[in-house]
Amino acid sequence: MKIRHMFNDLVSTIRQINQKYAHPALKTGKGVQISLLILRVYLIVLVGLLFVKFFLSLKSS
Amino acid sequence: MNFLADAFYRYRRFWKALRMYLILAGPGIIVMVSDNDAGGITTYAVTGAKYRFDLLWFLVLLGPIAYFVQEMTVRLGAVTKRGHAEAIFHAFGPFWGWFSLLDLILTDWLTLITEFIGMTAALSIFHIPPVLTVILVCLIMAFMILQGRYWTWEKIVMGFCAINLIYIPAAFIVNPSVSDILHHSLIPHLPPGGFTNELFFMLMANIGTTIAPWMIFFQQSAVVDKNMKEKDMAWGRLDTAIGSFFTVMVAAFVIIVTGSVLFGSNIESAAQAAIKLMDVNKYLGTFLAIGLFDAGLLGAICISLASSWAFGEVFGWAHSLNARVREAPWFYGFYFLALITAGIVVLIPGAPLVLITLFVQVIAVTLLPAALVFLILLLNNEQTMGKYTNTLFQNIANISIVAGIIILSTVYGISAMFPNLFG
């Protein structure tokens, strides 16, 4: 019961944080937005590679 | 008489400036010296053993690079009064905020494990069992953080930073050729054998130990916790410059020691280097082992705090070293949770420590470009930074550094995951 209560508290805190920062304060131009999009793709690719490596390590062991 | 009055005036002015610096010094020196953590000392020991003094010039180049990156955190912290995690949430919204925070927490925790690996290896040379080392480290760090004042904590850490200079007397024991060292430090050149995959890995490992994501988060939070103001920025810059000088100097002296004595030996870790040095001169080995322990401890101190500060900022918990435990229970709780769990992992028999070390590199690589890009964007935001935005020269220098690091770290990250990809 206590764990459930703590979990609910955590979820509500995270929701509050998301609401608090919902509107980014930095007004960005087109160039910056494109850079951030590229960064997002770059990170997704790198994280994807990380998963591939993880499964390859699992397979080899 | 005029001469005496002038000399006295200059002396008073110098003394006042020195006192002011000593009050404001801390975050820059601590972050830079702690950057030479257990992993760093291992990298330098291996660099010296493999390439003797041939990469000293590269380290000299890394000093200004580290300065340029860290100097931005001083300005950002002093102007916005926000830690880096909070600054990212505020400026870029929840997606990038959570990404940076969770990536930081994971990287820091894994790096903390590598610090414990270094510290247990160092003290095992003196026949101290790992379990005792872990308990000792947790007690030292508990004592430091629970005394309830940022100022005291900072001065104790500065004491540990001073121990990091132990490599200097070690270098004097080996008595290397000064002209040889100067020649290799000042003239960029490739080692005999030219540019190889192994050399690329070594160069990247040296970059990775000089600029790490946790450093950005740590220094900005420390600047805020120390309550540095815009007028103190010049001292913060000086502090960072002195720190970057020390980080390069300590690294160079480790390379000088291992390059002089162990050149050509197959060294894989700093602990192994210390054991081999014991055979040559017991003081040399002892100095390297003490230095390795100290480096791991400094790394652990800063890394665990960087995470706690970041979490505290975002979750709105009290997150200052000036707060008592009952005033900031989550902040201290998170600190000890990270510390104790990382220590326990090292004690698990057969724990995948090699895999952890690999993932530390790769995860750090994923965070570094994001952290650096955000830093540049934040420092160019006139609305937040006012007259402290990056100048044209700072932008040229920083964007070149960031672009170079992104390209190199991506190649490094991919080749660390797939060692046979590039032949």
Q: Are B301 and B27 in contact (CB under 8 A)?
A: no
Interchain contact, A24 vs B366, CB within 8 Å: no
pLDDT in tens, B203-223: 877 887 788 888 899 889 888
Residue B214 has a pLDDT of: 87
CA distance B94 to B316: 15
Task: Read off the pTM.
Answer: 0.85
Residue B67 has a pLDDT of: 92
Give B242 to chain A, closest Cα distance, Å.
32
Residue B293 has a pLDDT of: 93
Report A:5-44 residues touching B (Cβ under 8 A): 13, 17-18, 20-28, 32, 35-36, 39, 42-43
Angle at B214 between CA B212 and CA B215, to 5 degrees: 70
Q: Residue by residue, what is the 3-state secondary structure of chain B? A: CHHHHHHHHHHHHHHHHHHHHHHHCCHHHHHHHHHCCHHHHHHHHHHHHHHCCCCHHHHHHHHHHHHHHHHHHHHHHHHHCCCHHHHHHHHHCHHHHHHHHHHHHHHHHHHHHHHHHHHHHHHHCCCCCHHHHHHHHHHHHHHHHHCCCHHHHHHHHHHHHHHHHHHHHHHHHHCCCHHHHHHHHHCCCCCCCCCCHHHHHHHHHHHHHHCCHHHHHHHHHHHHHCCCCHHHHHHHHHHHHHHHHHHHHHHHHHHHHHHHHCCCCCCCCHHHHHHHHHHHCHHHHHHHHHHHHHHHHHHHHHHHHHHHHHHHHHHCCCCCCCCCCCCCHHHHHHHHHHHHHHHHHHHCCCCCHHHHHHHHHHHHHHHHHHHHHHHHHHHCCHHHHHHHCCCHHHHHHHHHHHHHHHHHHHHHHHHHHCCCCCC
Interchain contact, B373 vs A26, CB within 8 Å: no
Interchain contact, A39 vs B369, CB within 8 Å: yes
Give B93 to chain A, closest Cα distance, Å.
5
Residues of A in contact with B89 (CB under 8 A): 17, 20-21
Residues of A in contact with B106 (CB under 8 A): none
Instruction: Write the burial class of residue B13 (CB in 10 Å: 0-12 exposed, 13-18 middle, 19+ buried).
Output: exposed
Of B315, B377, B417, the CB nearest to A49: B417
Residue B260 has a pLDDT of: 87
Residues of A in contact with B383 (CB under 8 A): 25, 27
Nearest CA in chain B to A47: B366
Hey, is the C-beta of A55 within 8 angstroms of any chain B C-beta? no
Residue B423 has a pLDDT of: 53
Of A21, A39, A50, the CB nearest to B93: A21
Cα distances (Å, whole numbers) of residue B279 to B40, B71, B113, B266? 23, 42, 29, 15
Which residue is it, tokens 């930095």?
Answer: A26
Residue B3 has a pLDDT of: 79
CA nearest neighbour of B251 among B29, B31, B48: B48
The count of residues in chain B is 423
Give B87 to chain A, closest Cα distance, Å.
10
Which residue is it, tokens 């609401």?
Answer: A19
Give the number of other Cβ atoms within 10 Å of residue B83's Cβ.
28
The alpha-carbon radius of gyration of chain A (Å, integer) is: 19
pLDDT truncated to tens, each residue of chain B (423 aa)?
A: 677 888 888 888 878 777 776 776 677 888 888 888 888 888 888 888 888 888 889 888 888 988 998 999 999 999 998 889 889 999 888 988 898 888 888 888 888 998 999 899 899 999 999 999 999 999 999 888 887 688 888 888 889 889 988 988 888 888 888 888 888 778 888 888 777 777 877 887 788 778 888 889 988 988 888 888 888 888 889 989 999 999 999 999 999 999 888 888 888 788 888 888 888 888 888 999 999 999 999 999 888 888 888 888 888 887 788 888 888 888 888 899 999 999 998 898 877 776 676 667 667 766 677 788 888 989 988 888 888 998 999 899 988 988 887 787 777 777 766 766 655
Hey, is the C-beta of B384 within 8 angstroms of any chain A C-beta? yes
Residue B320 has a pLDDT of: 81
pLDDT in tens, A10-40: 888 889 999 998 888 887 778 877 877 887 7
Hey, is the C-beta of A58 within 8 angstroms of any chain B C-beta? no
Q: Are B173 and B284 in contact (CB under 8 A)?
A: yes
Interchain contact, B410 vs A39, CB within 8 Å: no
Interchain contact, A49 vs B414, CB within 8 Å: yes
CA distance B247 to B63: 7
Residues of B in contact with A50 (CB under 8 A): 359, 362-363, 366, 417
Give A60 to chain B, closest Cα distance, Å.
13
Residue B123 has a pLDDT of: 92
The ipTM of this complex is: 0.79
Give B89 to chain A, closest Cα distance, Å.
6
Nearest CA in chain A to B368: A43
pLDDT in tens, B343-396: 998 898 877 776 676 667 667 766 677 788 888 989 988 888 888 998 999 899
